[in-house]
Chains A and B, each alone.
Chain A
Amino acid sequence: MEMWMKIGYALLLGMMIMFIFPRAKQMLKESPKVSGNEWMGVLIPIIAVVLFVMLLIKLV
C-alpha cells in the first residue's frame, strides 16, 4: 500500500475512533447488568458462528 493511502486510512480510522469513543463510554455506563443465563443466549449463537467460519475455512 502506498504511503498516501496508509495516511488516508489512518486518518479515517482515527476519525472513527474519535466518533465511537464518547458513544462507547456512554453505552458502557448505561449497559444493564445481566445474569449468566442471558450470557448463554449470546454465547451459543457466537460459538455457532465460530464453528461455521471454521467450516468455511475448511471448504476453501
Chain B
Amino acid sequence: MNTNPSVLTQGAVSSLATTKLIRNTYTLLSITLLFSALMAGLSMTMQVSHGVSLFTLIGAFALIWLVLPRTANSAAGIGVVFAITGLLGFGLGPMLNSYLALQNGSQIIMVAFGGTATIFLGLSGYALVTRKNFSFLGGMLFVGMLMVLVAALANIFMEIPALSLAISSIVILIMSGFILYDTSRIVNGGETNYVMATVGLYLSIYNIFVHLLHLLSAFSGRD
C-alpha cells in the first residue's frame, strides 16, 4: 500500500474532483431535462407544426457543433446547454401531440418516459458503481451511429416501415452504449467538463425516448 502523503493527497483531490464532476453533471442534467419537458409542454399547447421541429433540430445541432465547443469552458456554456435542450424539447411537441391523438397515446408516452428513465438510471448507475472503463466502446459506437445515420437518410425517401423499426431498435442499443461510455468517461477522468458531459448524456436520453416511443406505438399496432 502506498503511504506517501503526497500521493494520498493527489488521490483524494482527484476523487473529490470526480465527485464534484458527477454531482454537477447530474444536477445540470436534471434541470435541463425538466426545462426540456416544460418546453415540450409549451409547444404542445401552442400546437406548433412538424416543420417547426425541423428548424429547432437544425438550431440545436448548430449550437452543439458550432457554439458549444467554444463556450463549454465558460459560464456561457450553461446558457448554451439550456438553449440546446430547450430547442430539442420544443421540437418534441408536434410528435407528442400526434402520439396523444392515438387511442392509447398517453399510456405509450408514459411507458416510454418511465422506460427511458429506468434505462438511463440502470446503465448510468451500473457504470458509476462498477467504475469499469468503457472507453474501448467509443470507436464501435461512433461507427454504429454513422451506419444508422446513413440508413435513416436512405429511409427518408424509401419509407420502409421495417427498416424504420430496425433503426429505432439499433439507436436504443447504441444510445445505451453511449450512456455506459459517457458515464465511464466521467468516472475515469476521460471527461472533465460537466457541460459537455451533460450534453452527451442528454442526447442519449433524448434519442432513447424518441425511438422507444416509435417502437411502442408501432408494436401496439396503432402507429
Contacts and interface: CB of A to CB of B under 8 A. Distances in A.
A12 B54 contact: yes
A34 B133 CA distance: 11
- What band does the interface of chain B fall in when counting residues whose beta carbon is under 8 Å from A? 35 or more
A49 B137 CA distance: 17
B150 interface: yes
Interface residues of A, number: 40
Nearest to B181: A42
Nearest to A11: B58
B80 interface: no
Interface in A33-56: 33-34, 38, 41-42, 45-46, 48-50, 52-53, 56
A50 B119 CA distance: 10
B142 A13 contact: no
Interface string B55-75: 001100100010000000000
B177 A24 contact: no
Nearest to B58: A12
